[in-house]
Amino acid sequence: MSWWEFWKPKHERLEFIRDFLAANEQTIPGIRSIDQLNFTVLDTETTGLDPSRDSILSFGAVKVSELKIQIPTAVEWYPLSENTGGKTAQIHGLVDIPDQISKEEFVRRLLPYLGNSILVGHHLGFDLEMINRQLSDFGLDQLPNAGVDTLSLAIRLEHGPQADQNRIKMGTYSLDALCERYGIDTDDRHTAAGDAFLTAQLFLKLLKVAERKGIINYRDLIKNW
């Protein structure tokens, strides 16, 4: 399905959105090797788990290119939301949020930042749902970018491509459990950027496992999920 079907004519497309969409028209050839791909590893902290009611408290991300985590690209944004100060905020310790930005500013920063990179996240679907909801106000229903969920990737690598997710203990695929299994220090979890960094390290390690299993290019990587 193309994003065009979801286009709502009543919204005037903003220039930055047009640029973003134009960048994403360029498709990535299936034979492009993984070390030539650009990834954005991201994570969000939200006010709750219901994308229709809750909103993003913080967004953290870092890029991976040439199979290296590029620290200079690390970002951490705190969009203003309708119900800040909720319960999640307490849990995550995001009470005094520095440098909050408006929802629009968030989207204006986010889209050029993502560009046409491949999005990577742990339980990526949830983060994307949260982000997409923010985008809908700007005439965009869904990010067109390709995505890789480290959770699915880990399962696929450990149990094979045909694995039935219902028969797998999901607890062993939480970010914490995977970090422990792959030897990654989880010193300060529960900030979006912190988790994005952990996910990025996990992603690098998973890609090595993938390489051994013959997953070496874009087509191999996004196949099957």
Partner 1 sequence: MSNVIVNRVAEFLKRFPPFSFLGDGDLTRVAQSVAVQYLEQGEILFQQGEAARPHFFILKEGIIHLVETSQKGEEIREVCDEGDVFGVLALLGKRPYLLTSKVIENSLIYAIPVAVFEKILEENSRVALFFAAGFAAGQVVVRQDLSQGQKARSELKKASGDHSLLIFSDQSAVNFSEKVLNCPPETSIQSAAKLMAEAQVSSIVICDSQDFPLGILTDKDLRSRVLASEISPKNPVSQVMTSPVITRKKQDGFSNLYLTMIRHRLHHLVLTGDGTDKSPVCGIISDHDVFLSMGNSPAVLIHGLMNTQEVGEMRKIRDRAEQMLCYYLENEVSMEFVASVMTEINDVIIRQALEIAKTELKAEYPEMNSTRFCFLSMGSEGREEQLLRTDLDNAILYEDVAEGLQSKAAEYFLKLGEGVVEVLLACGFDPCPGKIMASNPEWIQPLSVWKNYFSDWILHPSPEALMKVSIFFDFRSVAGSNALAAELSDHIYQEIGKKQIFLNFLAQNAMKNPPPLGFFRDFVVEKSGENRDQFDIKLRAMLPLTDLARLLVLSHQIVGINNTFQRFEKLAELESSNSELYSQAGKAYEILMRMRALEGLQNKNNGRYINPKSLGKLQRQLLKNAFAPISELQEIVNIRFQLDYFRR
Site string for partner 1, 41-60 (x = CB under 8 A): -------------------x
Interacting stretch for partner 1, rule CB under 8 A, among 71-79, 115-123, 163-171, 216-224?
A: 71-79
Of residues 67, 97, 216, 222, which one binds partner 1 by CB under 8 A? Answer: 67
Interhelix angle 15-25/103-114, rounded to 10 degrees, is: 20
Does 99 help bind partner 1 (rule: CB under 8 A)? yes
Place of tokens 């040439």: 66
Place of tokens 């919204």: 11
Q: 62 or 175, CB closer to partner 1?
A: 62
CA distance 170 to 159: 13
Q: 20 or 197, CB closer to partner 1?
A: 197
Assigned token pair, 200: 């990025």
Q: Is 181 helix (H, G, I), strand (E, B) or coil?
A: helix
Interacting stretch for partner 1, rule CB under 8 A, among 1-9, 133-141, 164-172, 187-195?
A: 187-195
Of residues 88, 89, 205, 210, which one binds partner 1 by CB under 8 A? Answer: 205
Residues forming beta bridges with residue 149, ordered by sequence position: 121
Does 194 help bind partner 1 (rule: CB under 8 A)? yes
Contacts (Cβ under 8 Å, ≥6 apart) of 208: none
Place of tokens 């009611």: 53
Q: 211 or 220, CB closer to partner 1?
A: 211
Task: Please answer whether residues 95 and 87 qualify as being in contact, where contact means their C-beta atoms are separated by less than 8 angstroms.
Answer: no
Of residues 191, 216, 220, 222, which one binds partner 1 by CB under 8 A? Answer: 191
Interacting stretch for partner 1, rule CB under 8 A, among 5-13, 21-29, 165-173, 199-207?
A: 199-207
In whole angstroms, the minimum distance from the beta carbon of 30 to partner 1 comes to 24
Please state, in angstroms and as integers, the Cα–Cα distance from residue 113 to each residue in 21, 37, 106, 147, 170, following that order.
13, 15, 10, 15, 31
Number of Cβ within a 10 Å radius of residue 224: 9
Please state, in angstroms and as integers, the Cα–Cα distance from residue 209 to each residue in 75, 134, 214, following that order.
27, 35, 9
Of residues 14, 21, 23, 75, which one binds partner 1 by CB under 8 A? Answer: 75
Interacting stretch for partner 1, rule CB under 8 A, among 61-69, 82-90, 112-120, 157-165?
A: 61-69
Does 74 help bind partner 1 (rule: CB under 8 A)? yes
CA distance 146 to 135: 17
> Contact residues for partner 1 (CB under 8 A)?
60, 62, 66-72, 74-76, 99, 183, 187-188, 191, 193-194, 196-197, 200-201, 204-205, 208
